[in-house]
Structure 1
Amino acid sequence: MLNGFRQQAIVKPGGVVEICSPELPAGATVEVIVLLESPPKHSEKLLTSFIGSARGSFTTPKEVDNFIRQERDAWES
């Protein structure tokens, strides 16, 4: 009969994985299967690439100046 348990471990320098459990009797033969979690995929975009990309945002300082100038002109009319 097979008995098993699941345990997470941190890989130590040199690729060493240590498993400690009172459920493991000394001298017993065990089979160890190591499943490596893949790291979460990070966005390749830099945060600065989002500047001005949202609806209603300005992409350049010149666009901001033009918008403000248009608003001021509208107030004076």
Structure 2
Amino acid sequence: MVIVNTIREKTIVKPGGVVEIRSGELPVGVTVEVTIVVERDNTQSVPRSLINFIGSAKGCFLSPREADEFIRGERDAWD
């Protein structure tokens, strides 16, 4: 039988992306699973270039060649 104990800790990420957790509830040598949830401020959006949106919507094509191939395929289907 496996007993699961959950420890929730908040910490600050140190330079180099280092996260450190210390707890007296962590026995030496035991295997643990760590899940990291990053909190972000909703008012700070990640800047995205318009080029990131090209071809991302349904029915859009990544290149003129891809659009031409689709149109040719549709035309061939008419015959």
When normalised by structure 2's length, the TM-score is: 0.50
Structure 1 segment 1-77 matched on structure 2, within 5 A: 1-41=3-43
The CA deviation at 1:32 is 0.0
In 2, Cα distance between equivalents of 1:22 and 1:34: 20
- The alpha-carbon deviation at position 23 of structure 1 amounts to 0.2
Q: CA deviation at 1:39?
A: 1.8
User: Structure 1: 5+ residue runs without aligned partners?
Assistant: 43-77
Q: What is the number of equivalent residue pairs in this alignment? A: 42
For 2:14, the aligned partner's letter is K
C-alpha distance in structure 2 between counterparts of 1:30 and 1:39, whole Å: 29
Aligned-pair identity (%): 52
| CA RMSD, 1 decimal | 1.1
Q: Segments of 4+ in structure 1 off by > 4 A?
A: none
Give the whole-Å Cα distance in 2 for the aligned partners of 1:15 and 1:37.
14
**Structure number with bigger Rg:** 1
| Cα shift at 1:40 | 4.0
TM-score w.r.t. length of structure 1 = 0.51
Q: Unaligned stretches of 5+ in structure 2?
A: 45-79
